[in-house]
Amino acid sequence: MRHNLHPATPPRLLSYAAVGGAWERQGPLGEKFDYCATDDRFGCATWEEAEAQMSRFALSFALKKAGLNASALDLLAAGDLENQCVASSRGFSPLGIPFLGLFGACSTMIEGLIVATLALGGARELETAAVVTSSHNCAAERQFRTPLEYGAQRTPTAQWTATAAGAVLLGKSGRGPQVTAARIGRIVDGGVTDAANMGAAMAPAAADTLLSFLREEDAMPECILTGDLGREGSDLLCELLAKEGVELRPRHRDGGCLLYDFKTQDVHSGGSGCGCIASVLAADILPRLEAGELSSVLAVGTGALMSPDSLKQGASISGVAHAVRIEK
């Protein structure tokens, strides 16, 4: 029997921050980011180093908002899409914070919030934890698909890897919103092999985690934020849940659909990447929760578990989805 997890002492969100690139600046949430670059290089020589820089920026903003130094952090859980998660290890190498590396593809922010919640509950020595995740469009494209310079055509179901990073600080005490429940997802493989349709690959995992979570709770969260299914995956998720008698649409939002303006920004099916739901949470959803515009959010991070090599070998793309409920 698997269960939703309910922390005995729900941790508090101390602060959060979002950093993005030039394209994210032009999106509907651009003004809400703590910082958006005008040049996606972030002053670095490579896209990969730029992603590391962006992660550091996001953590720095969150620390500043909480009035803390990096030395106050007992734990940093972080991850990204680069091979061997080097954006995180390069980004945080200088800071000297106890570090847990995570890989959950685009679900990594939510995976990190669960790990941090469990860590704060499971060790009396830990008081404060940070979770940071990032993605960079140019680093991801050349790693997973083709370098941007090739000008490859994208299919309508393809998603746009966000150039963004999000950071969330959690503590055992404080006054911020609380993580009151969580569910660790299981891997679900729907047999999708098209890396240009990750929404379809992840929707079954999102449906599995969401239905399992809702069955064990009495109240429906006011907002259900998935990230990042895009338009294609969001439609599929809503269809899958409708079949089970759950009408999701009125309360459903998707990070990949919130980050860009579909009318003016050609992102096809929407945003994706470890930085997408992370930055949407930090720039938009959590501030609205704190301001009282929302009372409870179920954030469902969805990840497509694949590599360029597994795709070439014909392996299907598994999905995983983790959920945390955050309440004011």
- Interface residues with a second copy (CB under 8 A)? 2-8, 45-46, 48-49, 74-75, 79, 81-86, 89-90, 92-105, 111, 114-115, 117-126, 143, 183-189, 303, 305-310, 313, 315, 318, 320
296 three-state secondary structure:
strand
- In whole angstroms, the minimum distance from the beta carbon of 171 to a second copy comes to 15
Spell 41-63 as b/e; 16+ CB within 10 A means b: bbeeeebbbbbbbbbbbbbbbbb
Which of 313, 104, 310, 302 minimizes the C-alpha distance to 207?
302
- In whole angstroms, the minimum distance from the beta carbon of 16 to a second copy comes to 21
- Between 84 and 295, CB nearer to a second copy: 84
Report d(CA 240, CA 254) in Å as an integer: 16
Q: How many CB atoms sit inside 10 A of residue 31's CB?
A: 9
- Between 68 and 288, CB nearer to a second copy: 68
- Between 143 and 178, CB nearer to a second copy: 143
- In whole angstroms, the minimum distance from the beta carbon of 31 to a second copy comes to 33
- Between 156 and 308, CB nearer to a second copy: 308
Report d(CA 204, CA 270) in Å as an integer: 18
- Between 183 and 252, CB nearer to a second copy: 183
- In whole angstroms, the minimum distance from the beta carbon of 276 to a second copy comes to 17
- In whole angstroms, the minimum distance from the beta carbon of 263 to a second copy comes to 33
8 A C-beta contact, residue 310 and residue 144: no
Which of 119, 94, 133, 130 minimizes the C-alpha distance to 227?
133
CA angle 303-304-307, nearest 5°? 130
Which of 153, 213, 240 minimizes the C-alpha distance to 2?
213
- Between 98 and 156, CB nearer to a second copy: 98
- In whole angstroms, the minimum distance from the beta carbon of 240 to a second copy comes to 17
DSSP label of 41? T
- In whole angstroms, the minimum distance from the beta carbon of 291 to a second copy comes to 29
- Between 46 and 295, CB nearer to a second copy: 46
- Between 77 and 223, CB nearer to a second copy: 77
- In whole angstroms, the minimum distance from the beta carbon of 323 to a second copy comes to 11
Which of 15, 95, 13, 23 minimizes the C-alpha distance to 276?
23
Q: Which are the contacts of 134, defined by CB distance < 8 A and separation ≥ 6?
A: 51, 54, 55, 58, 80, 87, 88, 91, 164, 165, 166, 274, 275, 278
Is the torsion defined by CA of 30, 33, 34, 36 positive or negative?
negative
